């Protein structure tokens, strides 16, 4: 078993080598994970070759001639029946190798199809016990009116029986018509609804609050860049033409609102804020001795809350702020009642030197990369994967955007696209590294292919199980599939090592050697697979805090192991015989070519 253990240890540790050199979010998240698992595997390999034999010599005793207990006898009878059933079914499969090969090709094709159509995501939503909400009132709303509206929202949220506390804040966002709420939920053991369900219920209940909109998010466990937005996923438009940018953003926002896979579609485009333009009559102001700076100072004194003094007490100090009375701050006509001091020492009514025009304008003009930008944000409808939603957004943007407007995903959505490409590369690199290491260990190009032949079945089982449990193929699911590469290949290693040994020592044909290897190594294969499956089962079930984020990993490992264990016990022997025949045929053909070659001597010189 020494070489078998060595092959299993190196190949399993090699799975995590590509993760160590990955950049981006994958490298940051799983670098320590890869180091820890890789080091543990190498140490366990050393222990298996040194400490385990010594402990076995001390603790294991011969059972020859001893009467075993009833439990041992019952389990041993069950195992013997199981083994005989496997041997009979394996003989039946070996007699129909072409059907098995065709079945393998069908599974390979289906695995590729499932990989394309499987719902994909970045990180699963988790119940962290906290929700974040952004409130948005009409453009031009006063500060006092915004406070009153947000207080009504906070009171409505606090009525929910699963909400423990609500924190309200205004003035934390660039837009003057927005506020924020932090909603702390009761512990999961004290409530019956998940955070996603509470979010949907609160959104529905808050529709009754007038003059304000509320956008509630279940924040992800890992926040990835992007601008602060009212919804979780973002699509940003950029253009040097501000009018065209605003028009295009409105059209695209309308189109996205019509998509059934998207909810809470909104944007940071706020260009309907009421404003008053003070147009100075320069000629009239010059005749009366009124400067533009004096007009600006007068307006600031009236509306800018200028500090004019400080009152000191024994325990504190208080600022004295000069401003108009509240009733004059709400009427545009009060501007005409202001007086401006001229350089001649006289006071002149502001209406004599300026004209007041009402209109609308932007609350803020956002920029990205030094260009004006508009960010559209959206959430996913229940049961919709992130990959499917982003395809819809891309399709709508392709139809709407002109050549002078550039669009692209930002934040979590952008990270999803880049991560998907990186994970595919990581999966390919893991398979390639294992193939190289197994090729070095076995000094063969063929046997590593036999060992890796069970990988499509593991991937097929993992993808089917994820889809059955309505889970996305996210980062954790991909890591589970990468772990499957190392776990599944050990079955083939145990069989092929024994078969090669039998062929060398007993001069047996490949078919009988691999059948005997499958029978002899059936017990350790089942033991190691069931141990790995049982270890991943609690993760798949989803016990404990933060279980939702780990569940795709456990489901992928359990589903992949269960299906591949059942199939590879039959497929690996078939692949072994076919590839051995291929190797023999290629070797004989090369030898014949070498034997039939004629060496022509070079002509002698004059």
Tokens of 597: 């070659």
Do 572 and 449 fall within a single domain? Answer: yes
What is the full DSSP assignment across 544-587? STTHHHHHHHHHHHHHHHHHHHHHHHHHHHHHHHHHHHHHHHHH
Do 559 and 459 fall within a single domain? Answer: yes
- Give mean pLDDT, residues 263-279: 84
User: Is position 67 within any domain?
Assistant: no
Question: How far from the centroid of its chain's Cα atoms is residue 260's Cα?
Answer: 22
Please determine, for residue 216, whether its predicted confidence score (pLDDT) is greater than 50.
yes
Other C-beta atoms closer than 10 Å to the C-beta of 331 total 10
CATH of the domain at 346: 3.30.2090.10
Give me the helices (H) in 118-225, please: 143-158, 195-205
User: Is position 498 within any domain?
Assistant: yes
Q: How confident is the model at residue 599 (pLDDT cuts 50, 70, 90)?
A: very low
Do 474 and 515 fall within a single domain? Answer: yes
Query: What is the predicted pLDDT for the residue at 317?
Result: 93
User: Is position 494 within any domain?
Assistant: yes
Do 427 and 544 fall within a single domain? Answer: yes
Domain count, the chain: 4
In angstroms, what CA-CA distances link 235 with 100, 219, 241, 377, 403? Answer: 48, 18, 18, 6, 17
Please determine, for residue 64, whether its predicted confidence score (pLDDT) is greater than 80.
no
- Give mean pLDDT, residues 56-76: 72
Global pTM value: 0.74
Nearest to 491 by CA among 445, 457, 535: 457
Rg of the chain taking only CA atoms, in angstroms = 36
Please determine, for residue 116, whether its predicted confidence score (pLDDT) is greater than 90.
no
User: Is position 64 within any domain?
Assistant: no
Query: What is the predicted pLDDT for the residue at 594?
Result: 53
Is residue 179 within a helix (H) or strand (E), and if so which, with residue range? strand 178-185
d(CA 446, CA 220): 45
Do 564 and 487 fall within a single domain? Answer: yes
d(CA 153, CA 151): 5
Do 471 and 529 fall within a single domain? Answer: yes
Q: Above pLDDT 70, what percent of the chain? A: 92
User: Is position 286 within any domain?
Assistant: yes
User: Is position 447 within any domain?
Assistant: yes
Query: What is the predicted pLDDT for the residue at 595?
Result: 53
CATH of the domain at 151: 3.30.70.1430
Do 438 and 564 fall within a single domain? Answer: yes
Please determine, for residue 311, whether its predicted confidence score (pLDDT) is greater than 90.
yes
Please determine, for residue 410, whether its predicted confidence score (pLDDT) is greater than 80.
yes
Give me the helices (H) in 118-178, please: 143-158
| Range of 24-28, 365-369, 397-401, 470-474 with top mean pLDDT | 397-401
Do 160 and 193 fall within a single domain? Answer: yes
User: Is position 599 within any domain?
Assistant: no
Other C-beta atoms closer than 10 Å to the C-beta of 586 total 12
Do 116 and 203 fall within a single domain? Answer: no
What is the full DSSP assignment across 364-423? ---EETTEEEEEEEEEEPTT--HHHHHHHHHHHHHHH--TT-EEEEETHHHHHHHHHHHH
Do 264 and 391 fall within a single domain? Answer: yes
Give me the helices (H) in 289-347, please: 292-303, 326-329
Q: Is 213 helix (H, G, I), strand (E, B) or coil?
A: strand
Q: Poorest-confidence range of 35-49, 269-283, 468-482, 584-598?
A: 584-598
Q: How confident is the model at residue 539 (pLDDT cuts 50, 70, 90)?
A: confident
Do 516 and 430 fall within a single domain? Answer: yes
**b/e per residue, 99-120, with b = 16+ CB within 10 A?**
ebeebbeebbeebeebbeebbb
pLDDT in tens, 231-248: 888 898 998 888 898 889
CATH of the domain at 253: 3.30.70.1440
User: Is position 66 within any domain?
Assistant: no
| Host domain of residue 164 | 127-219
Do 239 and 215 fall within a single domain? Answer: no
């Amino acid at each position: 078993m020494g070489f078998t253990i060595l092959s299993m240890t190196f190949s399993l540790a090699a799975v995590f080598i590509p993760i160590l050199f990955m950049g981006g979010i994958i490298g940051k998240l799983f670098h320590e994970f890869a180091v820890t698992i890789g080091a543990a595997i190498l140490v366990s390999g050393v222990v298996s070759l040194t400490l385990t034999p010594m402990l076995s010599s001390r603790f294991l005793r011969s059972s020859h001639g001893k009467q075993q207990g009833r439990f041992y006898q019952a389990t041993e009878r069950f195992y013997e029946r199981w083994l005989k059933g496997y041997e009979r079914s394996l003989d039946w499969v070996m007699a129909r190798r072409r059907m098995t090969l065709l079945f393998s090709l069908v599974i390979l094709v289906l695995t590729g199809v499932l990989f394309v159509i499987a719902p994909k995501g970045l990180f699963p939503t988790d119940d962290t016990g906290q929700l974040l909400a952004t409130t948005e009132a009409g453009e031009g709303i006063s500060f006092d009116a915004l406070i009153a509206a947000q207080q009504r929202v906070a009171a409505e949220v606090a009525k929910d029986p699963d909400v423990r506390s609500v924190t309200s804040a205004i003035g934390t966002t660039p837009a003057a018509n927005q506020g924020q709420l932090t909603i702390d939920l009761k512990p999961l053991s004290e409530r019956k609804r998940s955070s996603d369900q509470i979010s949907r219920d609160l959104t529905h209940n808050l529709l009754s609050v007038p003059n304000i909109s509320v956008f509630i998010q279940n924040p992800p466990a890992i926040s990835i860049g992007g601008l602060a937005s009212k919804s979780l996923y973002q699509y940003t438009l950029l253009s040097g033409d501000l009018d065209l940018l605003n028009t295009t953003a409105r059209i695209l926002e309308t189109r996205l609102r019509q998509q059934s896979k998207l909810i809470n579609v909104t944007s940071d485009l706020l260009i309907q804020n009421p404003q008053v333009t003070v147009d100075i009559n320069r000629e009239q102001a010059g005749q009366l001795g009124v400067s533009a700076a004096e007009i600006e100072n007068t307006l600031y004194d009236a509306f800018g809350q200028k500090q004019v003094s400080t009152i000191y007490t024994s325990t504190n100090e208080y600022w004295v702020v000069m401003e108009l009375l509240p009733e004059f701050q709400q009427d545009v006509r009060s501007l005409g009642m202001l007086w401006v001091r001229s350089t001649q020492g006289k006071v002149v009514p502001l209406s004599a030197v300026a004209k007041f025009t009402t209109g609308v304008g932007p609350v803020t003009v956002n920029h990205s990369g030094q260009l004006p930008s508009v960010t559209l944000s959206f959430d996913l409808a229940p049961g919709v994967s992130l990959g499917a939603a982003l395809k819809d957004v891309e399709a709508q943007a392709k139809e709407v955007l002109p050549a002078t407007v550039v669009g692209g995903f930002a934040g979590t959505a952008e990270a999803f696209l880049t991560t998907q490409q990186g994970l595919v590369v990581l999966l390919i690199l893991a398979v390639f590294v294992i193939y190289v290491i197994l090729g070095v260990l076995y000094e063969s190009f063929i046997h590593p292919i036999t060992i890796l032949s069970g990988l499509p079945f593991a991937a097929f089982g993992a993808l089917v199980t994820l889809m059955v449990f309505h889970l996305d193929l996210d980062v954790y699911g991909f890591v589970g599939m990468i772990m499957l590469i190392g776990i599944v290949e050990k079955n083939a290693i145990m069989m092929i090592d024994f078969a090669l040994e039998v062929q060398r020592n007993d001069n047996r044909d490949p078919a009988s050697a691999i059948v005997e290897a499958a029978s002899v190594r059936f017990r350790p294969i089942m033991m190691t697979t069931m141990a790995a499956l049982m270890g991943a089962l609690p993760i798949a079930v989803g016990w404990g805090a933060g279980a939702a984020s780990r569940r795709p990993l456990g489901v992928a490992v359990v589903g992949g192991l269960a299906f591949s264990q059942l199939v590879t016990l039959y497929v690996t022997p078939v692949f072994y015989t076919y590839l051995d025949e291929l190797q023999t045929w290629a070797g004989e053909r090369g030898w014949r070519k070498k034997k039939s070659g004629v060496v022509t001597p070079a002509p002698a010189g004059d």
